[in-house]
Amino acid sequence: MMKSLISNTANAHSELPKPKAIFFDVNETLLDLEPMRSSVGAVLGGRDDLLALWFSTMLHHSLVDTVTGRFHRFEEIGVSALMMVANNHDIPITEEQARNAIVTPLLSLPAHPDVKEGLKMLKDKGYIIVCLTNSSNKGVEVQFENAGLMQYFDKRLSVEELKIYKPDLRSYEWALKEVGVKAEETLMVAAHGWDIAGMKAAGMQAAFVSRQGKSLYPLAIKPDYLVEDLIELNEYL
């Protein structure tokens, strides 16, 4: 399916201005969430199929914080989300068990196989490489250290500084100011339809990376690039 989508949009790439900076989402876009299936499944009585539900519940309630004017670190919301999923499926779980299942594994995620090579290729071309994540400042620092990605990034940005989660438009506008670039001078890369919706509404170029189990939001503005991985993205830049 993704291949056909790519072929339908490829002709538009030549008309796009070359970006000065490329922003990346982190969780699932760069880092593979799949290893968390075992830790989440273990604490949920073997229900590793609930991993995706846990992650979507975490995202949902990060936006609850934003629209109600509150803020908790992403890791905190992740722990609470896991407890909610467990409760909704009548699985007894303590806060300590939820924390052990989420925090350390989330900080130890490996990069997808294409990521290091793809980032190096983009950096060698002279792009400013930035991450914009819902994870905490310390969290993304540890994630990048553990995944071996620190050397590829010129700047790491966390919404923790703004206390407003993506895809609120203010998070993208803040990130652009932090890097000193205009929206039309940037490309942002993500594996989430909701993130694509936010960055396009903010005026940025957008690239959707087709990670396993991820899809676009059909009612949002379409991305400028649809690619299988970062290696393919390099073919257009």
The tens digit of pLDDT for each residue in 33-80 reads: 998 888 898 999 999 899 889 999 999 999 999 999 999 999 999 999
Number of DSSP helices (H) and strands (E) in the chain, helices first: 10, 6
**Who wins on pLDDT, 84 or 5?**
84
Q: Quick check: 1 pLDDT over 80?
A: no
Say how many C-beta atoms besides its own lie within 10 A of residue 171's C-beta.
Answer: 23
For 2-32+109-234, the fitting CATH number among 3.30.565.10, 3.40.50.1000, 3.40.50.300, 3.65.10.10 is 3.40.50.1000
For the segment 82-111, the average pLDDT, to the nearest whole number, is 94
13 band by pLDDT with thresholds 50, 70 and 90: low
For 36-107, the fitting CATH number among 1.10.3210.10, 1.10.150.240, 3.10.290.10, 3.30.1360.70 is 1.10.150.240
Q: Count Cα neighbours of 1 within 13 Å in the Cβ-side half-sphere.
A: 7
Give residue 4's pLDDT: 35
Q: Using one digit for the tens of pLDDT, what is the confidence trace for 108-159?
A: 999 999 999 999 999 999 999 999 999 999 999 999 999 999 999 999 999 9
16 band by pLDDT with thresholds 50, 70 and 90: confident
Name the least confident of 11-15, 112-116, 134-138, 193-197: 11-15
Read off the pTM.
0.91
25 band by pLDDT with thresholds 50, 70 and 90: very high
List own/partner pairs for 165-170 with CB under 8 A and 24 or more apart. 165/62, 165/63, 165/65, 165/66, 165/74, 165/134, 166/25, 166/132, 166/134, 166/194, 166/195, 166/198, 167/194, 167/195, 167/197, 167/198, 167/199, 167/201, 168/63, 168/66, 168/198, 169/198, 169/201, 169/202
- Report the percent of the chain where pLDDT is more than 90: 84
Q: Quick check: 2 pLDDT over 90?
A: no
10 band by pLDDT with thresholds 50, 70 and 90: very low
Q: Quick check: 7 pLDDT over 60?
A: no
Whole-number Å distance between alpha carbons of 75 and 7: 38
Instruction: Give the CA angle between residues 223, 210, 194 to the nearest 5°.
Output: 50
- DSSP element (H, E) containing 53: helix 51-67
Instruction: Give me the residue spans of the domains in the chain.
Output: 2-32+109-234, 36-107
Give residue 133's pLDDT: 96
**Residue 20 near residue 204, CB atoms below 8 Å:** no
Q: Using one digit for the tens of pLDDT, what is the confidence trace for 215-233?
A: 999 999 999 999 999 999 9
12 band by pLDDT with thresholds 50, 70 and 90: low
